[in-house]
Structure 1
Amino acid sequence: MKEEVKNGNIVTPMLFPYQPEQFWQSLRQIIREEVAKADKERSATVTFETPGLTYKPLFKIAEICELFHITKPTIYDWVRHGKLRPFKIRSRVFFLWQDIQDLLQHKLD
């Protein structure tokens, strides 16, 4: 490839069929789309908040499944092996936030 000299400046030939301004415009558009997609995914992410509390003290099985991306049989297996302790309140089963935090710490270690 041969470099051209125009107005005393060296002009390097482009290897793709875009003018520089078209290239940057396309790149900006792609970045805008990706940022919008990431924002949309972030807003779709499930958050487990309880109004008036800084953290949610009790979690349902379905919430733990979403949090860890696992199935209910995995939760039952964790209970059977002592990784999680269920707490029954009336007819519902809940798990303590502290137990979930401990699991998260072991998962990250």
Structure 2
Amino acid sequence: MNDGGNNIDAPILFPYDPKQFWQSIRQIIREEIANAEKVKTTHPTYETPGLTYKPLYKVAEVCDLFHVTKTTIYDWIRHGKLKPYKIRSRVYFLWQDIQKLLRPD
């Protein structure tokens, strides 16, 4: 230990100069960040080439699109404004039917 100075000498536990050690650590971090950016996770795309719109919409998506509640959607179904299509246990709506509601003739 240095007396009276700000530098404190610590016992060396491994044979590296502290500056060289930190440079090595910084380099390793840079390499890891670069590798992580290269290997970004890609989300699967469900797009069909040539398809310019989403063909089926869930109830929640139609609610968001029209800013209405599920109750309103079910009321539209009851009154014939929207036709539901059931696929297994899910209910979907066709894009064409949604377009008719968006642009009433």
User: Which TM-score band applies after superposition, normalised by the shorter structure?
Assistant: 0.5 to 0.7
Question: Which one has the bigger helix percentage?
Answer: 1
Identity of aligned residues (%): 71
In the alignment, is the contact (CA less than 8 A) between 1:65 and 1:72 conserved in 2? yes
Structure with more contact order per residue of length (Cα contacts < 8 Å, sep ≥ 6): 2
Q: Please state how far the C-alpha of 1:50 moved relative to its aligned partner.
A: 5.0
In the alignment, is the contact (CA less than 8 A) between 1:61 and 1:75 conserved in 2? yes
Describe the SS at the equivalent of 1:62.
helix
Q: TM-score under structure 2 normalisation? A: 0.53
Letter paired with 1:51: E
Q: Aligned partners of 2:92, 2:47: CA distance in 1, in Å?
A: 18
Aligned length: 59
Which runs of 5 or more structure 1 residues have no equivalent in the other structure?
1-48
Q: RMSD between aligned alpha carbons? A: 1.7
User: Would you say 1:85 and 2:83 are equivalent positions?
Assistant: yes
Question: Which one has the bigger strand percentage?
Answer: 1
| Alignment-derived partner of residue 33 in structure 1 | none
Which runs of 5 or more structure 2 residues have no equivalent in the other structure?
1-44
User: Where in structure 1 do 4 or more consecutive aligned residues deviate above 3 Å?
Assistant: none
Q: TM-score under structure 1 normalisation? A: 0.51
Q: Aligned partners of 1:105, 1:81: CA distance in 2, in Å?
A: 18
| Alignment-derived partner of residue 62 in structure 1 | 60
Q: Please state how far the C-alpha of 1:72 moved relative to its aligned partner.
A: 0.2
